[in-house]
Each structure stands twice: as structure tokens, then as C-alpha cells.
Structure 1
Amino acid sequence: MDFKGSQQIGAPREKVWQRLNDPLTLQQCLPGCEHYQQAADGSYDAVIVAAIGPVKARFKGSARFSDLREDLGYRIEGNGSGGIAGFGKLTADVHLEDRDGGTALSYAATAQLGGKLAQVGSRLVGSVANKFLADFFARFEKLVSQSEDIASP
């Protein structure tokens, strides 16, 4: 399953980059996120509660950021398991560029699902994923555009 899109964010690219690399910002912006913390190996452990149609579960997983290009973008590789609900794997490339007095964030992602999640159908999963992304970007835009700069990670 592939996803791609872009979002205009009303903040300078440096500030968007800074916030995209801040664990507290990401925890606040990820819908259903109960836990998001850096692990000893540099990856991030997360717990997210999500419902996809009749399947609702607490997903425990991790994300690793690679190919970091400061103020330009990175690659995210993540996985999560919701027990009996199934599992998911994600690879996403994120790119930032200056545009219209703010920052254009574009992404291209590929997701793989297994278990009950794979049985509910790609159309339903796709619509839930698009809502998740819309909620994330709405929260991110609000937080980034209204807040002060944070200390560099």
C-alpha cells in the first residue's frame, strides 16, 4: 500500500526540521500516541492506540530515522504489532523545501500489513491512514506555527 502527499507548513524550513526531530513534538502530534521515547540504539519506541474499522488495538513498535539531510529530509523505517490485530511495517521518505513563505513537506510511504489489519481491506485502511496523516499535520502545523524554537537535539 502506497501513500504520498504534501503539506504546506507556515514556518521556516529550519524550524520544521527542528520539530520533526523532537520526540516531544512527535508524541504530541501522533494521534493516539501514548508513548514515544528514544531507545538506547538510537531508534524510537512508540505505543499508539488506533482503530481501523472493527479492529482496535494498542500497537507497540519502533521507528528508525536514516539518511538524515539537515533541513532537507530523511527516511523513516518503522514497524508495529497490535497482537491479535496484526502488524504493520512502514518505510517513508520525507522531503522539505522552502515554498510560499513557509515550508512544503512532501512524503512518499509504503506500508505492509498482516493479520486482521490486512483482512479489513485496503480501501478502509487507506482512508484511516489518510485521516491519521491529516490529524498529524493539523496538530503539527498548529504546534510549529504557534510555538517558540526548541533546543537543538
Structure 2
Amino acid sequence: MTAIVAALSVASLAAPALANTDQDFRHQVEVPHGERQVTAVYQPKTQVSYRQVGNMTPNRPSTARCLWQAEIAVERHLQAPAGQGSHIVRTLVPTKLIEGSTKGRCAQGNEQVNSAIARRADEVREHVLAVAAEDRNALMAELSVAAGNPAG
């Protein structure tokens, strides 16, 4: 019975979760599109997966550790001026990977994982800015196609 409970808890922790640190940084760019301005907002989207290793047996020292991996993607929100278009969201590549581990069970370490990711906020910010800079040509091409003026 103990093995079944342990297997179920590990299976539930293997599912990715979204970290709540995503809304800390947004990068906004105004892009001319014909006679109007379009706003492109770049922000990180973090998905964290957990893996429990080791065990916690009664009357023995615990060897339980939580291995975690945060995959940080960048979402581009494309917004036309009010009443002049729609809102389009696209997830861009590449993603950034941040890994770590905490002592004990994964269910108890969410705050530690969020703190570890928050301590590396400068890396996340740099990643968002780099992806946004790389996206400039693709964004302009998409806007050109949307306006009916394909490049090339």
C-alpha cells in the first residue's frame, strides 16, 4: 500500500505546473503598421516540472530530494489599437532552462522553487529581451503578410 501511495504522489508531481513569477517582467514595443501603431508585449511564461527522488522512511534519515526544472518560454502578445483589430498570442522559441533541487518532498518545496527562480530574475529578463530582439524581423514579416504585402 505504501508503494502505491508513493507512486501516485510521484506521478502527480511529474505533471508540469506554472510558476507564479511570470508577471514580474514585461517588455513592450510599439511597431508601426501602416497608418497605425501595434503594441507587441513580450513576457515570460514559466512551466515547472518536479521529480521526487529518494525516500522518507520512519526511524531513518530522509534521503528525499525534489529535482525541479523550470522551462521559461516567451509569449508575444500582439495588440492592435482599441477597435482596430484583435489580440494575438504566440509562444516564441528558444526557451531557457533553469534547474535545481531542494531537500524533502516536492509538495513542500514550491516556495523554495519560486524563490530560486525569482533570484535568477536577471537571467529571465535577459532571455525575454534577447528573444524579443530576435523576433523583430519575424514580427515585421507577419505584420506585412497581415496587411496583404508579403515580403519577398
By the TM > 0.5 criterion, same fold? Answer: no
TM bucket, shorter chain: 0.3 to 0.5
Between the two structures, name the one with larger relative contact order (CA 8 Å, sep ≥ 6).
1
Q: TM-score, normalised by structure 1?
A: 0.32
Higher radius of gyration, 1 or 2: 2
The structure carrying a bigger helix percent of its residues is 2
